[in-house]
A and B are shown apart, each in its own frame.
Chain A
Amino acid sequence: MTPDEQGHFGVYGGRYVIETLMPALEALDREFEQAMASPEFRKLLDRYRSTYIGRPTPLYFAKGLTEKVGGARIYLKREDLNHTGAHKINNTVGQALLAVRMKKKRVIAETGAGQHGVATATAAALFGLKCDVFMGAVDMERQKLNVFRMKMLGANVIPVTSGTKTLKDAMSEAIRNWIGTVRETHYIVGTVAGPAPFPKIVREFQAVIGEETKLQMLVKEGALPDALVACVGGGSNAMGLFHPFHDDATVALYGVEAAGDGLSTGRHGAPLNRGKVGVLHGAKSYVMLDADGQVMETHSISAGLDYPGVGPEHSYYKDTKRAIYGAITDKEALKAFETLAKVEGIIPAFESAHAVAYALKLAKKMKKNQSLVVCLSGRGDKDVEVAQRYFGDGGERP
């Protein structure tokens, strides 16, 4: 799907921002298109991918899980093995290279759990850029380790005390800061949300996930997978995996939102399942809005899925039925977290555990000669503290 010139995917996306930012967004779009058309830029990007990020990441056949479920063959796309432990670095290295190309000296970012903040701080250190990361005061308390990592990498972490003091407000504050600094600063948006051209830029830098998966499946299975499964907060790992398969009609796409305490409780982070059309952070998309049109508070055990909006292209995929969007509760995600650890020896991020939980249910309903790929978007180191509280010190449920 190519967005139109104003960055619309069908009726979604676009640039719903104050005029002050519009020329910078137009310039960024031009710069991005030129960069991606430049063989030198692509070569540079490929070099950092292979020698710094650690790509290609393995596509791992999860024999234990497959046998346990007794359905489709389950593969894991190991984005958790990237440098810094998640897929976020694919985007931040790409955008930092863009910032350097545009001669911007400073980058800013928003972060929830801290993964995108760490990945941005990493890329900024690599390319010698000044880096300010906006993080909700509540999240800073919840994710102290990542705050320290960012500081270690030379970034300045700015606590956000407005609104709900979480990811949504961190992104609002980053946009406000950008309005005042747009001439010398590049904003590295962390997901396929935000005003155009960010949904497209982030998707293109993350599409490497899907491109590699396609090749790896053709080598291993001699065929495309029957289904792809990925978690959706803003939706960058999902769109990165899905995009190269958009035109492959035999490949079913499944996005997994955070059902939190359950979709019926209202305490969740599932705009595609329970939201309505609105505008958040510069793009039209499904948003969790109350009856008055105000943005609702979200809930998920996973900070990365604790966001009331979603990338506009996912809204488009939903309406056109190209993808199906399910939801997994905190409890189900924790169970999958434990299963993956015990059966495969892999501790996933809580975000990725949502995708695993959904994939286990899906695989069971599929035939043994079918295959599915789950995007294991990040590793679980950041979540072990919360997991410990849940499972107890023995690693067994109390």
Chain B
Amino acid sequence: MSRIDQAFTRLRGGKRKALTIFLTAGDPSLARTVDLVKAAADNGADIVELGLPFSDPLADGPVIQESFLRAIAGGTNVIKSLAMVERLRISCDVPLVAMLASTLVINHGTPRFMKDAAAAGFDGIIIPDAPVDEYDEFLEPARKAGLDTILLAAPTSGPARMKRIAAISTGFLYYINVTGVTGGADAKPASIAKDVKTLKGMTKTPVLAGFGISTPAQAKAFAAVADGIIIGSQAMRVIRSVKRTADAPAALGAFVRSVRNGMDGR
């Protein structure tokens, strides 16, 4: 059983919903990312999604775009990100998902990337610009390496596409709450309930809701209609809000704790 599957088994046992925190690898630095992942995991994140920075992320709003550009300017690349994950794995067992643009995977060599990512300690992969129609080239290499393949479904998808997406999603399925980019308009839980139910009728894979969630109250509301939630831009905002980067892990930890408490009704 994969680390991600184990996490969901534990969550189901405790009747809790999954909290996934997105972090950019290398912002403010790769060394700091190690501390940030631990801070998130120690304060109630069940899964951490690490975004490997790309110069032209098309589905991301300004917060993550700028975060990616800072990471690239600081020298972060795919190879150094994988080395960081390897170091992180010595002292941290939280399920880790790699999020990166298709061109970074292709540039590294698709089968080689999957192998290297799994060896470094990643458990799953999200390629946001590889929809189910373009996923063939990634699916088998990911499976062979033992990585969960996490695909996205959107409010525009409709049942026929959802079925194809559900069929090859493992670990979890990422439901996009809003018709828009990350970090933008506030999402409405009522508007996603129907699609999440449709997806859950198609697969046993847990469905997590992401995009447009930033507060503990929203986290609670979305967790009520899905198997869990994903927060990205707001986590990066919290990290940016501190004056000294050494304070970032504590700030992120406090934020994650507040979201966790919100979701658990405490």
A residues at B contact (CB < 8 Å): 6, 14-24, 162-163, 168-169, 172, 175-176, 179-180, 182-183, 276-282, 284, 287, 289, 292-295
Determine which of A24, A176, A282, A295 lies in contact with B129 in the assembled complex, contact meaning CB atoms within 8 Å. Answer: A282
The distance in angstroms between the C-alpha atoms of A23 and B164, with both chains bound, is 13
The distance in angstroms between the C-alpha atoms of A293 and B108, with both chains bound, is 8
Pick 9 A–B contacts, CB within 8 A, sort by A.
A16-B130, A18-B128, A20-B156, A179-B181, A180-B181, A182-B179, A183-B156, A183-B179, A276-B107
The distance in angstroms between the C-alpha atoms of A183 and B180, with both chains bound, is 11
Task: Determine if B74 is an interface residue (Cβ-Cβ < 8 Å).
Answer: no
Residues of A within 8 Å of B104, CB to CB, are: 293
Residues of B within 8 Å of A17, CB to CB, are: 58, 129, 131
In the complex the two chains form, is A20's CB within 8 Å of B129's CB? no
In the complex the two chains form, is A22's CB within 8 Å of B157's CB? yes
The winner among A277, A278, A281 for most chain B CB atoms within 10 A is: A278
- For the complex, would chain A's binding face be called helix, strand, loop or mixed by DSSP majority? mixed
The distance in angstroms between the C-alpha atoms of A15 and B133, with both chains bound, is 8
Given contacts A20-B179, A292-B77, A293-B78, contact A163 B153 (CB under 8 A): no
In the complex the two chains form, is A293's CB within 8 Å of B107's CB? yes
Given contacts A23-B156, A162-B62, A293-B107, contact A279 B181 (CB under 8 A): no
Given contacts A20-B179, A179-B181, contact A294 B55 (CB under 8 A): yes
Residues of B within 8 Å of A175, CB to CB, are: 58
B residues at A contact (CB < 8 Å): 54-56, 58-62, 65, 69, 72, 77-79, 101-104, 106-108, 128-134, 151-158, 161, 165, 176, 178-181, 184-185
The distance in angstroms between the C-alpha atoms of A187 and B54, with both chains bound, is 24
Residues of A within 8 Å of B79, CB to CB, are: 292
Residues of A within 8 Å of B152, CB to CB, are: 18-19
The distance in angstroms between the C-alpha atoms of A280 and B104, with both chains bound, is 11
Residues of A within 8 Å of B155, CB to CB, are: 20
Across the A-B interface, the 9 shortest Cβ-Cβ residue pairs: A293-B107, A180-B180, A292-B77, A278-B103, A20-B154, A279-B103, A18-B59, A294-B55, A19-B154
In the complex the two chains form, is B59's CB within 8 Å of A179's CB? yes
Q: How distant is A31 from chain B, measured CB to nearest CB, in Å?
A: 16
In the complex the two chains form, is B106's CB within 8 Å of A15's CB? no
In the complex the two chains form, is A280's CB within 8 Å of B129's CB? no
The winner among B55, B62, B129, B131 for most chain A CB atoms within 10 A is: B55
In the complex the two chains form, is B56's CB within 8 Å of A19's CB? no
In the complex the two chains form, is A18's CB within 8 Å of B154's CB? yes
In the complex, what residue of chain B is closest to A17 when comparing beta carbons?
B129
The distance in angstroms between the C-alpha atoms of A345 and B156, with both chains bound, is 53
Determine which of A20, A169, A282, A294 lies in contact with B54 in the assembled complex, contact meaning CB atoms within 8 Å. Answer: A294
Determine which of A15, A168, A176, A281 lies in contact with B134 in the assembled complex, contact meaning CB atoms within 8 Å. Answer: A15
In the complex the two chains form, is A22's CB within 8 Å of B131's CB? yes
Given contacts A163-B55, A182-B156, contact A19 B103 (CB under 8 A): no
Residues of B within 8 Å of A23, CB to CB, are: 156-158, 161
Determine which of B61, B62, B131 lies in contact with A18 in the assembled complex, contact meaning CB atoms within 8 Å. Answer: B131
In the complex the two chains form, is B129's CB within 8 Å of A279's CB? yes
The distance in angstroms between the C-alpha atoms of A15 and B107, with both chains bound, is 18
In the complex the two chains form, is B54's CB within 8 Å of A6's CB? no
The distance in angstroms between the C-alpha atoms of A338 and B203, with both chains bound, is 66
Q: How distant is A297 from chain B, measured CB to nearest CB, in Å?
A: 10
The distance in angstroms between the C-alpha atoms of A24 and B157, with both chains bound, is 9
In the complex the two chains form, is A295's CB within 8 Å of B55's CB? yes
Q: How distant is A8 from chain B, measured CB to nearest CB, in Å?
A: 9
Residues of A within 8 Å of B107, CB to CB, are: 276, 278, 289, 292-293
In the complex, what residue of chain B is closest to A292 when comparing beta carbons?
B77
In the complex the two chains form, is A19's CB within 8 Å of B157's CB? yes
Q: How distant is B164 from chain A, measured CB to nearest CB, in Å?
A: 10
The distance in angstroms between the C-alpha atoms of A24 and B154, with both chains bound, is 12
Residues of B within 8 Å of A293, CB to CB, are: 54, 77-78, 103-104, 106-108
Q: How distant is A152 from chain B, measured CB to nearest CB, in Å?
A: 30
The distance in angstroms between the C-alpha atoms of A39 and B77, with both chains bound, is 53
The winner among B58, B104, B153, B184 for most chain A CB atoms within 10 A is: B58
Q: How distant is B132 from chain A, measured CB to nearest CB, in Å?
A: 8
The distance in angstroms between the C-alpha atoms of A168 and B60, with both chains bound, is 15
In the complex the two chains form, is B58's CB within 8 Å of A22's CB? no
The distance in angstroms between the C-alpha atoms of A365 and B266, with both chains bound, is 81
Supply 10 further A-B pairs (C-beta < 8 A) apart from A18-B128, A19-B154, A180-B179: A18-B152, A18-B176, A22-B156, A163-B65, A175-B58, A282-B129, A289-B107, A293-B108, A294-B55, A294-B77
Determine which of B58, B101, B178 lies in contact with A176 in the assembled complex, contact meaning CB atoms within 8 Å. Answer: B58
Q: How distant is A328 from chain B, measured CB to nearest CB, in Å?
A: 26
Q: How distant is A235 from chain B, measured CB to nearest CB, in Å?
A: 19
Q: How distant is B261 from chain A, measured CB to nearest CB, in Å?
A: 31
Given contacts A19-B154, A179-B179, contact A292 B133 (CB under 8 A): no
Q: How distant is A26 from chain B, measured CB to nearest CB, in Å?
A: 9
In the complex the two chains form, is A280's CB within 8 Å of B103's CB? yes
Residues of A within 8 Å of B78, CB to CB, are: 292-293
In the complex the two chains form, is B179's CB within 8 Å of A18's CB? no
In the complex the two chains form, is A287's CB within 8 Å of B59's CB? no
In the complex, what residue of chain B is closest to A21 when comparing beta carbons?
B156
Residues of B within 8 Å of A176, CB to CB, are: 58-61, 181
In the complex the two chains form, is A15's CB within 8 Å of B56's CB? no
